[in-house]
Amino acid sequence: MNQNKILVVEDEEVIAFHLEEQLKRLGYSVVGVVNSGDAAIDMVKNHHPDLVLMDIEMPGNINGIEAAREIKDRFQIPVIFMTAYGDDYYINEAKLAEPFGYLIKPFREDDLNASIMIALYKNKVDQKLRHSEEKYRTLVENAFDAIFSFDGEGQIIFWNQAAVNMFGYSPEEIKTQSIHKLIRESDGKKIKFFRDTKHKDDSLPVNEALGFNKDGREFPVEYSICQWGHSKDKDYICIIRDISSYKDTEMALLESQELLAQNNARLNEKNIALKEILNQLEEEKKELRNRITQNANRLILPLVNQLIAESTKGLKAKLKILQTNLKNITSSFGISISETEYNLTQREIEICNCISNGMTTREISKLLNISKRTVDNHRSNIRKKLNLLNNNTGLQNYLGTL
């Protein structure tokens, strides 16, 4: 059963009584019956009916039309007028209150029910529409981007608060402006409204232009335009975004990239210069090594050879070791065996020199005045440092490869 609440406003008691009985038979809930416009407003305020059946002509400070207008404006509750007058004057007066129906007394019960059902349905549709409009208006008013609507001549019809903030015009001033005064192409030409062709993904194309605020300041913007509505006169919606900060960031990024490229170029120049210096130092080191080798071969080794020839047997062995060491110093073996990566001690280097000259443990022990066990321990340490512990290569053969 229908439980919609209805308020009856009728100053004739008999008619009010019969109307209340009809409504109850139709399944409606009657929240009250009053006989004046003021009483009707108070009843609506306190009981919030779903619909008001309102007589036009009533005693009191305000008539039915005035009461209906206030009820609509304050409470958004639908009103159906009831009157015995069907002439144009009363109908035109009633239209000002935007009623949801107009019944001429006397009326049939089924006509009453049909009017109520249509009014309730229309009110429900209107409520959804108002809710939708409020939602989208809230979205538009709180958007960060400026939103305009304008006609085919560019005359602005609607704008949001972001548009006021972006362009500096007051709401009263902005409605006198043309969209062409606010944004123009970068070459100064007017923007074109036909840019409403959508992309394949159903999105609108975004274009860049220049915005001009009230003070004449120019700033870069992005904008999209689309046509809306189905009227013969074309209206458009334009969404504008200030991209000044984006452009500043883009410019700063380009400057940073240019500075980075310059720094890289300078760094490459310094690297090239450093390589040239290192190459020069290497050449100088080779030249110094050659001079040392030449001087040792020319000045020192001949003298050592002469001493070997003239010395006794005991001294001769030591001189031969000296001779070998001098040759090693001027050869690749002396350089390799002294490399820090092997971490050989001075004694281990001496023993390596003896081994590379084919001396036995006994001969090395006698020459260096150490025990054979000590020589063997040094041999083991040398093999370990040269990574030869698990290798069958002879120590003398390996040292000969260095």
Q: Are residues 27 and 41 in the same domain?
A: yes
Q: How far is CA 259 from CA 149, 251, 254, 265, 305, in A?
A: 44, 12, 9, 10, 66
Report which of residues 241 and 342 the model is more confident about: 241
Of 95, 123, 140, the last residue of a domain is 140
The span from the CA of 133 to the CA of 262, in Å, is 57
On whether both 67 and 47 belong to a single domain, the answer is: yes
C-beta atoms surrounding 243 within 10 Å: 16
Mean pLDDT for the chain?
83
Q: Which residue has the tokens 């036009």?
A: 56
Instruction: Give the three-state DSSP class for 97.
Output: coil
Residue 363: predicted pLDDT: 84
For the cut 50, the answer to whether the pLDDT of residue 398 exceeds it is yes
CATH number at residue 33: 3.40.50.2300
Residues in the chain, overall count: 402
69 compared with 402, residue with greater pLDDT: 69
Count Cβ atoms below 10 Å from residue 119 Cβ, excluding itself: 20
Give the count of alpha carbons within 13 A of 64, CB side only. 26
Residue 39 scores a pLDDT above 60: yes
Locate 215 and state its tokens. Answer: 């003070």
CATH number where 184 lies: 3.30.450.20
- Which of 85, 120, 140 lies at the terminal end of a domain, its last residue? 140
16-32 confidence digits (pLDDT tens):
999 999 999 999 999 99
Would you state the pLDDT for residue 229? Answer: 64
State the pLDDT at residue 298. 66
Q: In this prediction, what percent of the chain has a pLDDT beyond 90? A: 32
Asked, for residue 203, whether it belongs to a domain, the answer is yes
Residue 112, pLDDT > 90, answer yes
User: What single-letter DSSP state applies at residue 299?
Assistant: I
Phi and psi (nearest 5°) for 393? -65, 135
Q: Among 209-213, 254-258, 364-368, where is mean pLDDT lowest?
A: 364-368
Can you tell me whether residue 393 is helix, strand or coil? coil
Region 193-216: mean pLDDT is 69
Q: Tell me the residue range of the domain where 30 lies.
A: 5-140
Structure confidence by residue, pLDDT tens digits, 118-145: 999 999 998 898 888 888 778 878 888 9
Residues 106, 176 within the same domain: no
When pLDDT is averaged across residues 175-179 and rounded to a whole number, the result is 82
In the chain, how many domains are there?
3
Tokens 């009831």 belong to residue: 82
> Does residue 32 form part of some domain?
yes
d(CA 223, CA 296): 86
Does the residue 279 lie in any domain? no
pLDDT tens-digit profile of 297-354? 666 767 777 777 777 766 776 777 777 777 666 665 555 565 556 788 878 887 887 8
Tell me the C-alpha distance between 121 and 132, whole Å: 17
pLDDT category, 195, cuts 50, 70, 90?
A: very low
Rounded to an integer, the average pLDDT of 263-278 is 91
Any idea what DSSP says for residue 204?
P
Can the peptide bond before residue 106 be classed as cis, meaning omega within 30 degrees of 0?
A: yes
Pure H helices in 170-300: 171-174, 179-182, 244-295
Last residue of a domain, one of 177, 212, 242: 242
Residue 341's pLDDT is 65
* Mean pLDDT in residue range 93-103: 88
Q: How far apart are CA 240 and CA 195, in angstroms?
A: 14
The answer as to whether 80 is a domain residue is yes
Q: Is 388 exposed, middle or buried (0-12, 13-18, 19+ CB in 10 A)?
A: middle
234 with 344, same domain? no
Query: Both 100 and 158 in a single domain?
Result: no
Residue the block writes with tokens 């070459």: 187
